[in-house]
Structure 1
Amino acid sequence: MDTLQSDLAKAPNFLLWSFLTLILLFSGHEFYHDREIEARKFYSQSAEQAVVKMAIEGIPQVEVLQSLCLLALRDIKEGKQAQACMRIGMASRLQAFRTLQHNNTNQSETRDLTISRCHWSIRILESIFTPQLSIPSPPQTQISPEYPYPPSAPVPPSLPSASPTQADLFDTTDPTNDHGIVAYGIQLIIIWGETASYLHSIRTNPNLNEETPWSLRSTYSKLNHRRNEHETQLPESHLLRNVAFTKRTRAEIFTHQEYWTSWISMQVFCHALVAIQNHPFIHLVILRGNRGVSQSRLFLQQTVDHALFHSEWVFRLVQAWENFELPLHDPLIAHLVAATASISWIFQFARDRGIGEKARGHLVVAERLLTRMSTVWPHISHRLKTLHALQASASVATTNPSISSEHQGATITRGTTITIQPSLFWDLLDPKICPTETLGSSGPAAPGARMRVTTQFMHPLSEDEPSVGQEQRGVGGVGGGGERFMPDVHAHELEQLSLDELFGQLGDDEFTWVL
C-alpha cells in the first residue's frame, strides 16, 4: 500500500484502467459525480481491449499479468464466474509461457517483488476459484521455490505477562528459516487447491472411488503427507501457544492487523483442510458405497475423529476473531467455513443434547459469516443459499419409533439414520463454476442418501483433564494434545459406545486445551 500510488502513476494505462474498474466496485469518489457505473464500464472496456489482445499475442509483460488478475477479481465481484475462470486461465498460461521463455533462452530474470507477487497471485486465484481446471503442480521438494514468497509482517511482540513455553522435544526447526506468515498461508492455499481437485475427482470419476484412501499411494495419503510436511516447516513462533492470540486485546490485534489477518487465515485453512478431507459424507456415504471395496473400521474412526476435532477448531477460531469485531474478507475462508458447516450439519443429529446444540451453534456462526461475506463477494451468497437448503432438507429416521422430533433429533435415544441430499453437500464441497440459483425449490426432491451415525468411534482427546507434561504440537500449530482413550472406558465397553455418546466428551467453547 505504501507504494501503490507511485506504482500506478508510472503504470501503463491498461493497468490503471484494470485497477479502477475493480476498485470502483468497492468504493466511489466525488471526482465521478455519482457516475461510477459509467466510468467503470469505460475502464472495463478499455482495459479488456488492450489486455486480452496482448495476452493472446503472448506478450508476457508483468503489467499484463497484473491486469488479468485484477480483471478476474472484477468478474468474481460481479458474479461472472465463467469469465473469471477464463481470465485466470489466460493469466496462468501467460505466466507459464513467460517462465518457459526465460528458461529456454537461459536468461537470468531478476525475481523482484512485483514478479513474485504476480506469480503467487495467479497461483492463489487458481487454487481458490478454479481448482478443478488447474494443471496439477509437480511434486513439492524441499528446495526453495522458483519465485520467492512475498514479504510478511513480523510476529507481534510477546506479551509481558505471557509465561515462556518449552520448545517441542524433537523440534529441529531453525528460526532463521522462517519465510513469514504469508508464505505459510500461501502453501496451505496451494494444498487446498489440490484437495479441492481431489474432491472434484471423487465426484466426477467413479474409478477413483475404487482407490482405498488409507493406502500409501492414494491421493488421500499424499495430501496428508503434504500437510504434515507443511506443519514440520512451520516455525514455533507462529503457534497459538506462542503468539497468545486469545490473550490479546482488540487494540493489539488492530495495531498488527496485517500479521493477524494472515495468521487467522492460515489457521482456518489448516483445520478446515483436515476436516473437509475427512468429511463423513465423503467416507461414510460416497466412498463407502463402492462395490467390492472393503473399509477399515479403524480408518473410519480416525476420519470422523479428525472431522469432529478440526471442524470444532474452525468455528472456535472464527468466533474468536469475531470477538475482536474485525471483519474477515478472504473469500476462501467463506468457502471453507461453508464446507465445514456441512460437517456440523451432520453432528447436530447427535443424541447428546449438548453436542447437537453446539453443532447448531456452529451453523449459526457459519450463517452469520456467510451473510456478511456475501455482501463483499456475491458468489458466496450461493453457499449461503445451499446451506439454508441443506437445513430445510433435514430429516431424521430412527430405529426408535417414539423419538422426539424436537430440535431435529437432539433427544434421540437409539441409533440414528440421517437422510441427506448428496447434491447439496457437493454444492458446498465442490461448487460449480457457474452454479444455478435453483436449489431444489421446485419439482420433486432429489434422491437422498442415508447415513448411519451409530458406528463406534473414539474421540481423540478429553480436554478437561489434559495429561501432565503433554504439550504436543497440533496440526498447523493450533490444536494440542495427543490421542488417548477417554477416562473410565475399558476395552470391553467399546462396543456399547455410540458416536453420539462419544461426542459428549468434547469440552466447552473456551481455548482450554494444552497448547
Structure 2
Amino acid sequence: MDITDSTYTERPAKREDRLHSLEDKLGAVLDHLGYEYPTPHAHDLTTAYQDSVSASSRDEPSVGNESSAYLGPNSSIILPSWDDITPIAELYLVFCESQPLPLFHRGSFLASLQTRDVEIIYAMLALSLRFSDAYHHRASDLTELVNSYAEIARGLVMKRVSEGPVELSTLQCLCLLSLVDFTNGNTHRSSIHSSLAMNLARCSNLALEPRTPTSNILREERRRCFWSICLLKRLHGGDFSILDNPDMGGPPFPHSPTRPARVMSPGPSTVEVRRSDIQDQGIMAYVIMLSEVFARTARYVRLHGRPSNVPPWSPHSEYSKIIALQMDLETRMPLTHRFKPANLSNRSTEELQTHREYWGPWFLNQFMYHTILCLLNHPLLLSLSLRTFRSTIPEIFLQHTSDLISSHTTWIIHFINYFEEKSFLVSDPLLGYSAAVVATIELQLSFTDNPTIREQKRETFTKCVQFVQQIGKMWPHMARLAQRLQHLEDAVSATYQSDPEAHNQSLLIDLSKFWEILEYSSNSDADSARRLFGDSLYSGTPLMAAEVSQTSPLPAPTRIGEERASNYTTPNFGANTAFPGAHDYHAGSLVSPQQLTLTNDEFSILATNFFSQGQEFLRGGDTWDNIGNF
C-alpha cells in the first residue's frame, strides 16, 4: 500500500486482493528466511538472502542482485545484497542515528548487521534510502521501495507482537517504523507504533537494568531503545507514561560522544576548567532532558491560547512553570555543551560532517531550546491568551516577552545562516519544524509600513521556508510543511492593506492555518486517517467552526529613545456583532466575514488585530549576540 497516495480510494475487492498479496509476501519472506523466533540471532541473513533468491527464482523472474529488488505488486520483496545494504546502513549512521533517535550502538552496528533480525534491516532501509544518491533521481521508485520495505517490516514485527517472542529488536523496529510513518505524513499510524513500543517497554520492564549477565553492547542498546521511545513520544506531541512515577528515573542515559576538540586550541579553556564541578552526562542526556520541556510546550500550544483565570506571569501558570523548568535544566547544563565553547565559527564543514554523532544532537538541543521560547512567546499565542487581562498586563512582562521573541528567533535564523555558509546538510526534521515556527512569527512581523523592517522580515521568512524545503527533499512531511507556509503567506497577504484606514473590518484570518504549522504532531496528509480506519470508525475530517478571536493588540513595552507610533485603531466590536455578508462564508476559506462570539475563538482573528499585533513585538535595543545564547 502506498501510504503517500492522497487519492487512495480502493474498493473492498481490490483492498482484499492487496491483503492477500501482502500475506503471500510475508509468507514467502518467512519461508525463505527460515525464520526461527526462539533464537533471534540464530540465522545468518547472508545465507537467508541467498536462499530467498534461490527459492524465489523458481517461481519469479530472475532479478540478480540489484538493490531495488521489488518485482511488482504480485511478487516477493527480497532484501538487496549485503554489498548494497551496507552503504545504506552507513548512511543511517551518518544522517539518522541520534538525529533524533539514539537507537543503536554505533560502534557495533555495521558489524552486527547480518546477525540482526530481518525486520530491523527492512525498517532501516525504509528510513535511510532517502539519503542514497542512487535513488534520489527516481522519486516514484524511491517512494514505492520505501513503502514496500516498511510494509514488510510492519508485517514481521506485528507477527512478533502477536505470536512472540518479543525481543529488543521488536521495539527498535517499531521506533524506526514510527519515524518512517511520521515523515510520510501518516501520523496516526506513527503514534500507534510508538505507543505500542512504549507499552511493550513498560510490560517488559525495559526501564530497569537487567539482573542477569549481559554484554555491555546489549545493555547499552536497551538504554538507547528506552530513551528513543521517550524521545519519539515527546517530540511527536505524546506523553511518555513510563516515567509518570517521579521516583522512577529510568535507566542511565545513552553513552554520548565528547565534544570534538577545537583544531586550533584542543585544550579546555580556564572557564571550562572552573566549571568542571558540573557533572557531564553527555549531549544526548541533555537532549532527552530538554525534550520534557518541549513536550509540555507542545501541549501548551495545543490549547490555542484559550483564556485562563491565571495570567501567564503568575508563578502558577503553565507558561511560568515551563519557563521555570527550562531555567532549572539550564543550570544543570555543563559549559562544554553550550554555544560559546563550541567555537562554531572556526569549525570546518569537514569537522562538522566527520563528527555528526556529536553535532547532530548538539544542534537539536540548541534548536529545541530556542523553539520552546519562541512558541511560549509567540505573538499570536500571547495575544489570544491575554485577551482577558488587557487592562492589567505588567510592563515588565511586555518587555520580557518582546525581548525573548526577538532574541530566540534571531538565534534560529543565525543557525540557518550558519548551515548555509558551511554547506552542512541538516537531516533532523525537527530543525525544519523550528524554522517553520520562526517563519510564522516573521510573517506576522513583516506587515509593517516601515520598508526596511518589511524587507528584512520578508527575507527572513523566505530563508526559513527555503530551509524547510531543503529538508523536505529527504522528508515528505517537511515538504508538506513548506507548502503550508507558502499557502499561509499567500492567504494572509491577501488580507493586508498598507493604509490602516482602508482595512476591511470584517476580514478574518483563519487561525487553523497557523495551528497546522505550530502543532508539529498535526503534520499529516489529508487522507492519513481515511487509509487507516474503516467505515465503522472513520468519522470524516472534523470541521472547525469558523469563529473570530475577541482579541486586540498587546500594548508595546515602553523603551527609552523609542517613539511608539500606533498606526492602527483597535476596532470596538462587541460580542455578537454581525458582519455583512456572513451568509456567503465557506468554512474552507481563509478570509471570511463572520459573527463574533466569545467561545471557541482560537479559529480566526480579525486581520487588523493580527497585523497590528505583530508590530507591537518589533523592537530595537540590545543586539542578539549579547543575550539568549545557550
Q: Which TM bucket (shorter chain)?
A: 0.7 to 0.9
Match 2:485 to one of 377, 383, 387:
387
2:557 alignment counterpart: 457
1:185 alignment counterpart: 287
Structure 2 contact 275–334 (Cα < 8 Å) conserved: no
Relative to structure 1, is the Cα distance of residues 374 and 172 closer, same or farther in structure 2, using a 3 angstrom cutoff?
Answer: same
1:411 alignment counterpart: none
| 1:57 to partner: Cα distance | 6.0
Match 1:70 to one of 167, 176, 180:
176
Q: Secondary structure at the match of 2:496?
A: strand
Q: Secondary structure at the match of 1:379?
A: helix
2:93 aligned with 1:3: no
Relative to structure 1, is the Cα distance of residues 323 and 38 closer, same or farther in structure 2, using a 3 angstrom cutoff?
Answer: closer
Relative to structure 1, is the Cα distance of residues 83 and 365 closer, same or farther in structure 2, using a 3 angstrom cutoff?
Answer: same
2:277 alignment counterpart: 174
Relative to structure 1, is the Cα distance of residues 109 and 496 closer, same or farther in structure 2, using a 3 angstrom cutoff?
Answer: farther
Distance 1:417 1:304 in 2: 28
Q: Secondary structure at the match of 2:189?
A: helix
Counterpart residue type for residue 219 of structure 2: D
| 1:108 to partner: Cα distance | 6.7
Match 1:270 to one of 356, 369, 381:
369
2:436 alignment counterpart: 338
Distance 1:63 1:10 in 2: 11
Structure 1 contact 19–70 (Cα < 8 Å) conserved: yes
Structure 1 contact 210–293 (Cα < 8 Å) conserved: no
Counting only pairs closer than 5 Å after superposition, residues 193-212 of structure 1 correspond to structure 2 as: 193-200=295-302, 202-203=303-304, 209-212=308-311
Relative to structure 1, is the Cα distance of residues 396 and 109 closer, same or farther in structure 2, using a 3 angstrom cutoff?
Answer: farther
Q: Secondary structure at the match of 1:391?
A: helix
| 1:172 to partner: Cα distance | 5.9
1:247-269: CA deviations, max 9, x gaps?
33333333433322322222121
Distance 2:337 2:282 in 1: 9
Distance 1:366 1:504 in 2: 21
Counterpart residue type for residue 526 of structure 2: T
| 1:136 to partner: Cα distance | 8.8
Counterpart residue type for residue 121 of structure 1: S
1:123 alignment counterpart: 230
| 1:148 to partner: Cα distance | 2.0
Distance 1:94 1:272 in 2: 31
| 1:184 to partner: Cα distance | 1.6
Structure 2 contact 208–250 (Cα < 8 Å) conserved: no
Distance 2:207 2:465 in 1: 47
Q: Secondary structure at the match of 1:376?
A: coil
Q: Secondary structure at the match of 1:385?
A: helix
2:254 aligned with 1:150: yes
Distance 1:495 1:108 in 2: 71
Q: Secondary structure at the match of 2:110?
A: helix
Counting only pairs closer than 5 Å after superposition, residues 334-413 of structure 1 correspond to structure 2 as: 334-392=432-490, 393-394=492-493, 395-396=495-496, 400-401=500-501
1:82 alignment counterpart: 188
Counterpart residue type for residue 235 of structure 2: I
Unaligned residue ranges in structure 1 (runs of 5+): 404-415, 438-442, 459-484
Unaligned residue ranges in structure 2 (runs of 5+): 1-105, 528-542, 568-611
Distance 1:48 1:444 in 2: 34
Percent of aligned pairs with the same amino acid: 23
Distance 1:140 1:47 in 2: 35
2:526 alignment counterpart: 436
Structure 2 contact 468–478 (Cα < 8 Å) conserved: yes
Distance 1:108 1:377 in 2: 41
Structure 1 contact 278–303 (Cα < 8 Å) conserved: yes
1:503 alignment counterpart: 618
1:477 alignment counterpart: none
1:361-404: CA deviations, max 9, x gaps?
2211111111111121111223212211221123336784389x
1:135-167: CA deviations, max 9, x gaps?
4954878x9x42222222222223537999774
Relative to structure 1, is the Cα distance of residues 513 and 261 closer, same or farther in structure 2, using a 3 angstrom cutoff?
Answer: same
| 1:99 to partner: Cα distance | 1.7
Structure 2 contact 207–251 (Cα < 8 Å) conserved: no
Distance 1:9 1:115 in 2: 19
Structure 1 contact 191–223 (Cα < 8 Å) conserved: yes
2:330 aligned with 1:241: no
1:310 alignment counterpart: 408
1:208-232: CA deviations, max 9, x gaps?
7343222222221221122111111
| 1:187 to partner: Cα distance | 2.1
| 1:507 to partner: Cα distance | 7.2
Relative to structure 1, is the Cα distance of residues 139 and 102 closer, same or farther in structure 2, using a 3 angstrom cutoff?
Answer: closer
2:526 aligned with 1:422: no
Counting only pairs closer than 5 Å after superposition, residues 95-134 of structure 1 correspond to structure 2 as: 95-99=201-205, 112-129=219-236, 131-132=237-238
Counterpart residue type for residue 292 of structure 2: I
Structure 2 contact 130–474 (Cα < 8 Å) conserved: no
Structure 2 contact 556–616 (Cα < 8 Å) conserved: no
2:119 alignment counterpart: 14
Structure 2 contact 442–457 (Cα < 8 Å) conserved: yes
Higher mean C-alpha displacement, 367-376 vs 185-194: 185-194
Relative to structure 1, is the Cα distance of residues 514 and 364 closer, same or farther in structure 2, using a 3 angstrom cutoff?
Answer: closer
1:448-469: CA deviations, max 9, x gaps?
55875572225xxxxxxxxxxx
What's the RMSD between the two structures over aligned residues? Answer: 4.3
Structure number with larger C-alpha Rg: 2
Structure 1 contact 418–450 (Cα < 8 Å) conserved: no
Distance 2:145 2:496 in 1: 53
Distance 2:389 2:616 in 1: 30
2:153 aligned with 1:51: no
Distance 1:56 1:75 in 2: 21
Structure 1 contact 397–418 (Cα < 8 Å) conserved: no
Distance 1:496 1:109 in 2: 71
Distance 1:36 1:353 in 2: 45
Q: Secondary structure at the match of 2:501?
A: coil
Counterpart residue type for residue 154 of structure 1: T
Superposition TM-score, scaled by structure 2 size? 0.62
Structure 1 contact 28–36 (Cα < 8 Å) conserved: no
2:426 aligned with 1:328: yes
| 1:316 to partner: Cα distance | 1.0
Counterpart residue type for residue 232 of structure 1: T
| 1:359 to partner: Cα distance | 1.8
Structure 1 contact 60–95 (Cα < 8 Å) conserved: no
Query: How many residues in Structure 1 have an aligned counterpart in Structure 2?
Result: 454
